[in-house]
């Protein structure tokens, strides 16, 4: 019986392969060609099940089968297989996106929702940034900030204000970066990585991630105008104070310090504030 590394089998299973399909494909990568019977013997699997697995792999485009009496099987090279799967996924993604776009979705609400995975936290943040219309405020540790760099730069390219509080020098095209004066403590002593975002005072996200960026300690997102209004204001004040702290340490002139105090994106000019004020007005008139 041939030994097949479980690492390759488990990796293929994450892409939708069954354990048997993953074992057959992994085995064939180590053999130039083999018959279904040879594969079954090598893996210690029933012949009938092995042939079904080969047929499934053919359908996935992972295996080539000789058009002859011996029906020799050959694995498609991994790069070629991954290319096929990626194009197939992009096609399915487009079909699903178009189908879902035709559905009438419910409007955002004022509830607070829990996010469970790092991937979910980052993807929700990317969507928030992509939907921004005026300003993105973000306080982030180096790893989550790097993961969001492309979206932040694209937002800045669209003319969106991007204000970043960071904990290590970083180049983010078009963004205004304020470096924490307590960076050493947070990077070396704090037991988590922070990601805090407010967009247009319309929605906000706050997350604490582990140092390996694998687990979420706690994370929430909300499009509550009331809470997003407050989070936006707090993040903006934090960004200004952080920038002032750095400038004071550098003996910056009083004139420049006064300029830092002036908000380029006042809270009362945000979409979120206008919507919140309008909702309060409607309630007064009811």
What are 2's two structure tokens? Answer: 């041939």
Residue 246: pLDDT band (50, 70, 90) is confident
Question: Which residues, including other chains, have CB under 8 Å from residue 192's CB and lie 6 or more apart?
Answer: 208, 209, 210, 211, 217
- Return the structure tokens found at 71: 């029906």
Pick from 167-181, 202-216, 264-278: least confident: 264-278
Fold equal for 6-78 and 112-285: no
Q: According to CATH, what is the number of the domain 6-78? A: 1.10.10.10
Tell me the pTM: 0.70
More confidently predicted of 109 and 225: 225
Residue 28 has pLDDT above 90, yes or no: yes
The yes-or-no verdict on residue 230 having pLDDT over 90 is yes
Distance (Å) of CA 45 to CA 6, 41, 99, 205, 249: 16, 7, 41, 50, 70
Fold of 112-285: Endonuclease; Chain A (3.30.870)
Average pLDDT, the chain: 90
pLDDT band for position 105 (cuts 50, 70, 90): low
User: Which comes out higher in pLDDT, residue 199 or 245?
Assistant: 199
| Domain coordinates in residue numbering, the chain | 6-78, 112-285
- Of 17-21, 108-112, 187-191, which gets the smallest average pLDDT? 108-112
């Amino acid at each position: 019986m041939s030994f097949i590394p479980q690492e390759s089998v488990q990796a293929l299973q994450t892409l939708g392969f069954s354990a048997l399909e993953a074992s057959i494909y992994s085995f064939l990568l180590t053999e130039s060609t083999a018959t279904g019977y040879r594969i079954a013997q090598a893996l210690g699997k029933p012949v009938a099940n092995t042939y079904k697995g080969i047929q499934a792999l053919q359908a996935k485009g992972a295996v080539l089968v000789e058009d002859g009496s011996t029906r020799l099987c050959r694995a498609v090279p991994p790069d070629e297989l991954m290319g096929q799967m990626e194009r197939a996924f992009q096609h399915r993604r487009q079909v699903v996106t178009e189908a879902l776009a035709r559905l009438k979705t419910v409007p955002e609400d004022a509830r607070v929702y829990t996010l469970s995975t790092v991937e979910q936290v980052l993807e929700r943040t990317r969507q928030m940034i992509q939907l921004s219309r005026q300003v993105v405020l973000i306080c982030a540790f180096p790893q989550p900030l790097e993961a969001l760099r492309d979206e932040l730069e694209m937002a800045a390219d669209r003319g969106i204000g991007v204000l970043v509080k960071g904990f290590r020098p970083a180049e983010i095209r078009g963004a205004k970066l304020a470096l924490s004066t307590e960076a050493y403590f947070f990077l070396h002593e704090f037991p988590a990585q922070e990601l805090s975002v407010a967009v247009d005072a319309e929605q906000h996200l706050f997350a604490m991630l582990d140092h390996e960026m694998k687990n979420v300690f706690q994370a929430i997102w909300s499009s509550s105008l009331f809470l997003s209004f407050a989070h936006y204001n707090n993040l903006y004040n934090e960004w200004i104070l952080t920038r002032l702290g750095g400038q004071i340490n550098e003996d910056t002139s009083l004139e420049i310090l006064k300029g830092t105090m002036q908000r380029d994106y006042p809270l009362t000019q945000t979409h979120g504030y206008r919507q919140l004020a309008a909702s309060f007005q409607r309630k007064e008139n009811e």
